[in-house]
Chains A and B, each alone.
Chain A
Amino acid sequence: MKTLQEIDQHARDIAPDRQKAVYLVTKTVAERRKAIFAHDYPDPDRLRRLAGQIKQHTLEHLDHYLELAEKKFTENGAKVHFASDGVSCNQIVLDILQKNHCRKVVKSKSMLSEETELNDFLNKNGVESLESDLGELIVQLDHDRPSHIIAPIIHKNRREVAECFEREGLGAYNDEPEVITRRARNFLRKKYLEADAGLTGANFVVAESGRLSIVTNEGNARFCMAGTRLHIAIVGIEKIIPRDRDLALFHNLIARSGTGQRLTVYNQFIGGPKAKGQPHGPEQMHVVFVDNRRTEVLDSNCREILRCIRCGACQNICPVYRQASGFAYRSTYGGPVGSVLSPLLAGEKFAEFADLPKASSLCGACNEVCPVDIPIPDLLLRLRDKGKREAPDKSGAGTPPMGLWAVMASQPLAWKTALRLGYALNYPPGQAFPIPALQAWQSVRKFPRWRGGRFRDWMKTRNKNK
């Protein structure tokens, strides 16, 4: 038995100030979330359950809603594409850009593009693709990766940002947040004007109207479409919701869940390219629906994870994420949602991520805050079962074997014998038994005195005396 899980090692080795920053930010946002829900709604759980039902319904009829969305987008003048995986998604985007002679692209935040590593692909193929969300821009300039869905640079401090800006020629070292922001703004304004195309994701895709809903706090998605002549949105097929009116519920939930705001600052609804008579806006709109193993997830016993609206609330509340940070999960998605999604999206590479579902005390806090009521602990458990069967080495690190225990626990006589034998633990030689689980436990804790069978004895005497 390997005694340590990778995520636990990561938590052990993380720089203390980085861990503290992650802990403080996530805790603050989680508290803000809780306060605003409690203040605004008599029964927030009803909203979460309703939103979960809407998403679940959509997933169960995804064939219908995808077709409807395609029809409506086409009617609105947008071109719809379907990509089966990340590679074809990137290729479709590149083809559209090349066909339309687009050399420079500004991009708003999209977790899907992190999944497909779109920026790298475009830049390698002669298209300059630049992130416009402040956090994502810093990540890109610093050749780093985001470590949180909503707060991509939760792991960075302002000194690191200032050093990066200095190195990348955005100005001499200055770590004042106002200066950093102003420099990013000046840098980006020029890029927005130079760009040929705007790339975005979408938070929600409405099937009945063929409409994208994009929420930001920086207005950058809007800028990506202000001066460009072409707009490409890449969206996971699970982003669909049936009706425009459903947006009311989801907008209320996503802002409160993600950042503790009532509403995100900029809320865009995009129903097609520039219409005749409209003075501004991209002349072309492309929507790329991306599968990238989502239909496999839909076919699995963890399909509820596709309800996820990427708000990051489960990351903020998770005590394990707070200790280990997002990079510990070695994948696009960290925290509870990542522990479920990453092994599933890995497909035949499931084994590489089979340890992720173990990184949870199963406390259930993630489910309590999830705006679409995903039963995350249940899904983690199902994946542990899968891990035990398909990738026992990776998932089993640090886990004591259960075979002998199961035999004892199903035979009362063996159980009672073990209750007697346990007394050996009360003496130093017993405590030093070379059992890894016992030693791991005792490294930070003292074992209580073994009192095996005492309750049974008491119960027997009591029943006799009655």
Chain B
Amino acid sequence: MALHPQTRKKPAGKRLFFMATCICDAFFDDAARAAVEVLEYLGCEVVFPEGQTCCGQPAFNSGDWKASRKVMRHTMEVFKGEEPVVAPSGSCAAMLTHGAPLEFEEEEDLGKVQDLAGRSWELSDYIVNGLGITEWKGRFPHKIAFHRSCHSRGSGSAEAATQLFSSIEGLEITEFGEMDQCCGFGGTFSVGFPNISAAMGRLKIEHVTATKPDYLVSGDMGCLLHLGGMIDKEDSQSLPRLHLAQVLRDSLKNGGLL
């Protein structure tokens, strides 16, 4: 999927807008915190516009494009400017770069949406392809199962994260079965199709746990909300989850760099 517009601008300076994502805003504050710490470690000036809410994806995926556009128009106001917008989520980034232009196809303010799309990034994509950083310092002496979230298909995000991980001292990435398959979250899909969603989730968890990782890692807390919720529901299972930003940050901490 060509999730990224051809015309995406390379960041001009180090000032950026941080989009925390609604899911981190509500549940996973440490993932967003880790992303900020990582970006600041890299010398970025991280601006967090207080008015931000959500990217509008739940309504977009539900087919309520009118409601979604309302939220997207608010988001465009919040992130008005020249600065790149960086989100610790492939899914929210894809909403900005790909979903929004799709739902605004027939709208007069399509140009504004395309402008935002052209400067929006997923975190690891921004680090590697925006800032040009290809190695990560520090140490993370653990075995991780890295779930490539589907919204990073074709975007270079999963490759970017893997590239950073593979340079971290002590970090081991497991190869598990059907790595490219969806975890079954899909936002409102997980609510409307609980049986299929859960069956997909079980399959993913089986494959992941078979490799006995220390952590399940992803660039999208949506996937981890769903998979983690399933893992926690069963008392017999336990597997800690981390956002990729937490791995990057903890690696720096372990190496005494943060």
Residues of A that sit less than 8 Å from B by CB: 4-5, 7-9, 11-12, 27, 301, 319-320, 323-324, 357-365, 367-368, 375, 377-378, 381-382, 384-388, 395-400, 402-403, 405-412, 415, 419, 422, 437, 440-441, 443-456, 458-459
B137 within 8 A of A: no
A25 to B136 CA separation, bound complex (whole angstroms): 41
Contact among A367, A386, A402, A408 for B53, CB-based, below 8 A: A408
B193→A402 contact, CB < 8 A: no
Contact among A382, A402, A440, A448 for B229, CB-based, below 8 A: A448
Contact among A12, A400, A409, A453 for B195, CB-based, below 8 A: A12
Considering the complex, which residues of chain B in the window 174-225 have a beta carbon less than 8 Å from any beta carbon of chain A?
Answer: 178, 180-182, 184-201, 203, 225
CB distance from A408 to the nearest CB of B (A): 7
CB distance from A378 to the nearest CB of B (A): 6
Q: Closest 4 A-B residue pairs measured CB to CB?
A: A361-B186, A445-B229, A398-B192, A384-B63
A365→B182 contact, CB < 8 A: yes
A452 to B28 CA separation, bound complex (whole angstroms): 9
B103 within 8 A of A: yes
B253 within 8 A of A: no
Which residues of chain A have C-beta atoms less than 8 A from B198's C-beta?
444-445
A445→B233 contact, CB < 8 A: yes
A385→B65 contact, CB < 8 A: yes
- Which among A5, A361, A399 has the greatest number of chain B C-beta atoms within 10 A? A361
A406→B70 contact, CB < 8 A: yes
B33→A324 contact, CB < 8 A: no
A453 to B60 CA separation, bound complex (whole angstroms): 24
A409→B182 contact, CB < 8 A: no
B200→A397 contact, CB < 8 A: no
A445→B230 contact, CB < 8 A: yes
A448→B233 contact, CB < 8 A: no
Which residues of chain B have C-beta atoms less than 8 A from A444's C-beta?
194, 197-198, 201, 229-230, 233
Which residues of chain B have C-beta atoms less than 8 A from A405's C-beta?
58-59, 67
Assuming the contacts A403-B67, A451-B26, asked whether A360 and B233 have C-beta atoms less than 8 A apart, the reply is no
CB distance from A370 to the nearest CB of B (A): 10
A8 to B196 CA separation, bound complex (whole angstroms): 6
B36 within 8 A of A: yes
B161 within 8 A of A: no
B68 within 8 A of A: yes
A402→B68 contact, CB < 8 A: yes
CB distance from A328 to the nearest CB of B (A): 9
B61 within 8 A of A: yes
B28→A406 contact, CB < 8 A: no
B50 within 8 A of A: yes
Contact among B22, B36, B181 for A365, CB-based, below 8 A: B181
Assuming the contacts A8-B194, A365-B150, asked whether A400 and B199 have C-beta atoms less than 8 A apart, the reply is no
A441→B191 contact, CB < 8 A: yes
CB distance from B136 to the nearest CB of A (A): 23
CB distance from B29 to the nearest CB of A (A): 4
A9 to B52 CA separation, bound complex (whole angstroms): 37
Assuming the contacts A359-B193, A446-B232, asked whether A453 and B65 have C-beta atoms less than 8 A apart, the reply is no
Pull 21 A–B residue pairs with CB atoms less than 8 Å apart, ordered by A. A7-B196, A27-B178, A319-B203, A360-B186, A362-B61, A365-B150, A378-B102, A388-B63, A396-B62, A398-B193, A400-B188, A402-B64, A410-B53, A410-B74, A440-B194, A445-B226, A445-B233, A451-B29, A452-B26, A455-B25, A456-B20
Contact among B20, B51, B67, B189 for A360, CB-based, below 8 A: B189
The bracket for how many chain B residues form the interface is 35 or more
A324-B196, A450-B26 given. 9 additional CB < 8 A pairs? A368-B154, A402-B67, A403-B64, A405-B67, A409-B22, A412-B52, A422-B26, A448-B28, A451-B28
B25→A406 contact, CB < 8 A: no
Which residues of chain A have C-beta atoms less than 8 A from B103's C-beta?
381, 385
Contact among B33, B58, B184, B228 for A455, CB-based, below 8 A: B33
A440 to B226 CA separation, bound complex (whole angstroms): 12
Which residues of chain B have C-beta atoms less than 8 A from A12's C-beta?
195
A387→B193 contact, CB < 8 A: no
B118 within 8 A of A: no
B189→A400 contact, CB < 8 A: no
Contact among B22, B61, B73, B180 for A381, CB-based, below 8 A: B61
A452 to B22 CA separation, bound complex (whole angstroms): 9
A399 to B25 CA separation, bound complex (whole angstroms): 23
Chain A, residue nearest B78 (CB): A412
Which residues of chain B have C-beta atoms less than 8 A from A324's C-beta?
196
CB distance from B22 to the nearest CB of A (A): 8
Which residues of chain A have C-beta atoms less than 8 A from B199's C-beta?
11, 323
Which residues of chain A have C-beta atoms less than 8 A from B195's C-beta?
8-9, 11-12, 323
- Which among A378, A382, A386, A459 has the greatest number of chain B C-beta atoms within 10 A? A459
Chain A, residue nearest B55 (CB): A409
A411 to B26 CA separation, bound complex (whole angstroms): 16
Chain B, residue nearest A328 (CB): B196
CB distance from A189 to the nearest CB of B (A): 42
Which residues of chain A have C-beta atoms less than 8 A from B48's C-beta?
456, 459
Which residues of chain B have C-beta atoms less than 8 A from A399's C-beta?
62-63, 188, 191-192
CB distance from A83 to the nearest CB of B (A): 33
CB distance from A446 to the nearest CB of B (A): 4
A455→B233 contact, CB < 8 A: no
Considering the complex, which residues of chain B in the window 1-52 have a beta carbon less than 8 Å from any beta carbon of chain A?
Answer: 1-2, 20, 22, 24-29, 32-33, 36, 48, 50-52
